[in-house]
Amino acid sequence: MSKDSLVEEIKESLVTDNDLTYLRNLDEPTLEKIHKEIHDYIHRTEELQKPVFKVMAVSTQFIPNFIIAKLAHDYLTPYIIAQVVIYMDPKAAAKIGKSLRIDYMGQVALYASPEITARIGNLMETNIVAQVVKDLAAKNFHGKLGELADLLEDKVMLEIIKNVRDGKIVGNIANSMVNQEKIIRIAQQMPGDIRSAAKAQLQTLGNPLAEKF
């Protein structure tokens, strides 16, 4: 893994808006060790807290969504909600998501696994998901958005792109995607202006994928 990738993963693991580019000055073994320590600490913490999150997930079945949203905004961190939705029915989690602030949902998406986020995102209104995408893109979390884009259903992703209506954002996300066949397939269905801007951004980033747009 390159230094840039390690720094980006550390940034996303810590869910911070701070500029961590100074970490690139570290030698690669030290950077890899820091990355592993952070990952291991998060894993240990999650394992210890699982029973609590399972109980909280069950309790959401008996509380109105607007009250859950109020409790989340006032008392629960996005990290906690991200762990609770793991044990919830995706449809129920999607309904609660409609009551959450966009910035709060973005933080939840960063803490949750891409698989869980995509499962819920596929069931939510695409205009809401598009707002979350814009919020995360503005904070340069393109790596996480790339992971999410790899997992979303094609039709959902296309509708999100149409709602985002920003080719530069689309280009940055495409640059972080692993499933290139998917983004090439979707590119053929994008509105012309978005597709052109996305291609230009990929060219700026030096990504050969641009030639296939």
DSSP per position, 6-52: HHHHHHHHHT--S--GGGGGS-HHHHHHHHHHHHHHHHHHHHHHHHH
Give residue 199's domain range: 142-213
pLDDT given at position 2: 80
For residue 137, is it within any domain? no
pLDDT given at position 24: 83
How far, in Å, CA of 59 to CA of 165, rounded? 38
Assess whether 115 and 179 both reside in one domain.
no
Query: Whole-model pTM?
Result: 0.73
For residue 87, is it within any domain? yes
Q: At what angle do helices 114-121 and 142-151 cross, to 10 degrees?
A: 60
pLDDT given at position 22: 82
pLDDT given at position 104: 93
Assess whether 66 and 115 both reside in one domain.
yes
Assess whether 98 and 159 both reside in one domain.
no
Domain boundary among 94, 124, 154: 124
How many domains does one find in the chain? 2
57, 23 contact by CB (below 8 A): no
pLDDT given at position 92: 92
Assess whether 50 and 110 both reside in one domain.
yes
CA dist list (Å): 169 to 3, 56, 67, 160:
23, 35, 34, 11
pLDDT given at position 26: 83
Domain boundary among 61, 90, 124: 124
For residue 132, is it within any domain? no
Per-residue pLDDT 10s for the chain (213 aa) are 787 888 888 887 777 777 888 888 888 888 888 888 888 887 787 777 788 788 888 888 888 888 888 888 988 889 889 989 999 999 999 999 889 999 999 999 988 888 999 999 999 999 999 999 999 999 889 999 999 999 999 999 999 999 999 999 999 999 999 999 999 999 999 999 999 999 999 999 999 999 999
For residue 131, is it within any domain? no
> Of 122, 71, 125, 73, which Cα lies nearest the Cα of 98?
125
> Of 39, 1, 16, 31, which Cα lies nearest the Cα of 141?
16
Assess whether 99 and 12 both reside in one domain.
yes
Q: Which residue has the tokens 């995408």?
A: 133
